Structure 1
Amino acid sequence: MNYAIGIDIGGTKIALGLVSSDGQVLSKTSLSTDLSLHPSDMVDKIAEAANRLLSDEGLQQADLKGIGIGAPGPLNTKLGQISEPPNLPNWWNFPIIHSFKRHFQLPIVLENDATAAALAEKWTGAAKAVDHFIYITISTGIGAGIYSHGSVLTGATGNAGDIGHIVIDSSRGTCSCGQRGCFEYIASGTAIAREASSLLGRSVTSKEVFELALSGQDPAMESLVHRVFGYIGAGCVTLINTFDPELLIFGGGVSQVGEPLFEAIRNYIKLHALNPSGRNTPVVPAALQQNAGLIGAAALIHTNY
């Protein structure tokens, strides 16, 4: 059996794990993303943690098939660079693969984190039986991994699936990208918390918002959540009409709301998807949850994606 290290880089946390060729996570750990450090110094810390994982399992670098890295976009997979992710401002234009090569003389592959998570769900998760699906993550931001005709759709530079910047409602304010009413700006966990905090006059998390809304304690929160569910439904219909998937898989923190979210999306899709078959597109939770990112990063090495 051979092994890969999967690394999932996020704005607040970096998860990494040692993953076998059959998709099992043998061991894993995580680090806080320290934005006060130069990214090359952060890479040093990640490499140290990866070597500890190997040592704890009685393995060496020679036992590795390679290292896969999932990172938020925009990025440039051709150049092995992280380009301009909003949540990693000091990582802009950072040559991440070159930096890791200081520590590992192994194949190293970089892809968008949502693309990697989609690959994980295909490999060992909820999409094993289908060849056309979209993995959608809704948390701090919104992104997607698109799997079609038996492979992930990456685009020219690895940025296919950046659905957070589809314009859904141009009346709803200006996104960080400069457009008005982007999907991410109005329906992400960050957006929900921002809007609710303004309505309530105090700081709340998106988790608290859903608790208030779904318990019936606060009509204003119920109205907000209903509106957000509609935005997510509209985003899904756009994806269904564009890519004709067999399945939609949801991950990310907002997906933890569970069935109330999925039922609302299914109902919206039934009403508005153009193709009659698309109106019955299944909507399911991600099977791998918090491990999807690191398993998907390892899958960049283990699978012929």
Structure 2
Amino acid sequence: MKYAVGIDIGGTKTAIGLVDAGGAVLLKHSLPTDHTVSPAEMVDRIASAIRELTAKAGIDLAADVLGIGIGAPGPLNTRLGQIVEPPNMPGWWGFPVVESFRRHFPALDIAFENDATAAALAEKWQGAAKQADHFVFITISTGIGAGIYSHGRLLTGATGNAGDVGHFVIDPAAGTCVCGQRGCWEHIASGTAVARQASELLGRPVTSKEAFDLAASGTEPRITAWIDQVFRYIGIGCVTLINTLDPELLVIGGGVSQVGAPLFDAVKAYVARHALNPSGRQTPVVPAALHQDAGLIGAAALVHVAYK
């Protein structure tokens, strides 16, 4: 049995796992992404965790591991192997992540993609999009991103940043995004946006989960109206993707997708009314099948799928 190492680098934690050729996670480990140390030091810690995992599993790193897949937030440059300017990781700007891992694993192939792109490949490989040749995976959590799969392959763009859909401008009246534009999709419809606006409405700290729970209970009409607006915003972004890319399927993952039926019912209704092409109005919108381990399975898929 051959394995891949999947690494999902995030702003708060980094997940590392050993994934077999069937997409099963054999062993995994999580490290805090420590912003008090250099990225190179974090890579050293991740490399140590990889060696510990393989030793614990009784796997020979040289003989049994095909390669290492890395998913990371963008902007990045996959052509140069660099993490470029992720807003929540300023200490990593311009960091040559692939080169840094090669210091530890010079004999292994290393694949590197945007984390949402990697997750899209995971959904194609082992998730909700197995039968689709044209789909978009959308992750809605702290921010919003997407992985695009069309004509049987990932569309990654010249530098690996295709799918940065969180910065579609949806409502310019809704305030300034961290990117400097006004009314970006993730500024108004991400989990972060839900919590921010709900906190403003109630005058106290509110998590996104609490906001969705309050909306479902109907006890706070202001929150219910706000969440209905968020669902419309998500629908607008989905229609934009359908009109632009003509997918046969939309897959939605990330923390906000855990809201379940209220979100999916609202988005499907919006798509059915507003997608331009009659066939587009029938585009299935489904939840991601891979949840907690999606990031590291996606990173490992970058290796396993390449060897098929």
Q: State the TM-score, normalized to the length of structure 2.
A: 0.98
- SS of residue paired to 1:290: coil
- SS of residue paired to 2:138: strand
Residues 10-61 of structure 1, C-alpha deviations (whole Å, 9 max, x = no match): 1111111101112111111111111111000011111111111101110122
Root-mean-square deviation (CA, aligned residues, Å) is 0.8
2:87 is the counterpart of 1:86: yes
- SS of residue paired to 2:292: helix
* Equivalent position amino acid for 1:114 in 2: A
* Equivalent position amino acid for 1:68 in 2: G
Residues 186-233 of structure 1, C-alpha deviations (whole Å, 9 max, x = no match): 000001101111111100110000000011110000010000000000
- SS of residue paired to 1:155: coil
Residues 69-88 of structure 1, C-alpha deviations (whole Å, 9 max, x = no match): 00000000000000000011
C-alpha separation between the residues in 1 aligned to 2:143 and 2:52?
31
Is 1:17–1:294's contact at 8 Å kept on the other side of the alignment? yes
C-alpha separation between the residues in 2 aligned to 1:208 and 1:34?
28
2:76 is the counterpart of 1:75: yes
* Equivalent position amino acid for 1:126 in 2: A
C-alpha separation between the residues in 2 aligned to 1:107 and 1:289?
26
| More divergent stretch after superposition (100-109 vs 224-233) | 100-109
* Equivalent position amino acid for 2:97 in 1: I
- C-alpha displacement of 1:102: 1.2
* Equivalent position amino acid for 1:28 in 2: K
- C-alpha displacement of 1:241: 0.3
* Equivalent position amino acid for 1:265 in 2: V
Give the match for residue 98 of structure 1: 99
Give the match for residue 170 of structure 1: 172
Stretches of 4+ aligned residues off by more than 3 angstroms:
none
Is 1:81–1:97's contact at 8 Å kept on the other side of the alignment? yes
C-alpha separation between the residues in 1 aligned to 2:287 and 2:30?
23
C-alpha separation between the residues in 2 aligned to 1:126 and 1:21?
18
- C-alpha displacement of 1:291: 1.1
C-alpha separation between the residues in 2 aligned to 1:149 and 1:143?
20
- C-alpha displacement of 1:259: 0.7
Give the match for residue 158 of structure 2: 156
Residues 94-149 of structure 1, C-alpha deviations (whole Å, 9 max, x = no match): 00011111111211111000000000000011111110111000000000000000
Residues 239-259 of structure 1, C-alpha deviations (whole Å, 9 max, x = no match): 000011111111111000001
C-alpha separation between the residues in 2 aligned to 1:258 and 1:210?
10
The one of 253, 256, 261 aligned to 1:254: 256
C-alpha separation between the residues in 2 aligned to 1:285 and 1:51?
34
Q: Which runs of 5+ in 1 are unaligned?
A: none
- C-alpha displacement of 1:287: 0.5
2:35 is the counterpart of 1:35: yes
C-alpha separation between the residues in 2 aligned to 1:147 and 1:56?
35
* Equivalent position amino acid for 2:26 in 1: L
Give the match for residue 47 of structure 1: 47
Alignment length (residue pairs):
305
Give the match for residue 304 of structure 2: 302
Q: Which runs of 5+ in 2 are unaligned?
A: none
Residues 267-299 of structure 1, C-alpha deviations (whole Å, 9 max, x = no match): 000110000011011111110111111011001
* Equivalent position amino acid for 2:23 in 1: G
Is 1:61–1:104's contact at 8 Å kept on the other side of the alignment? no
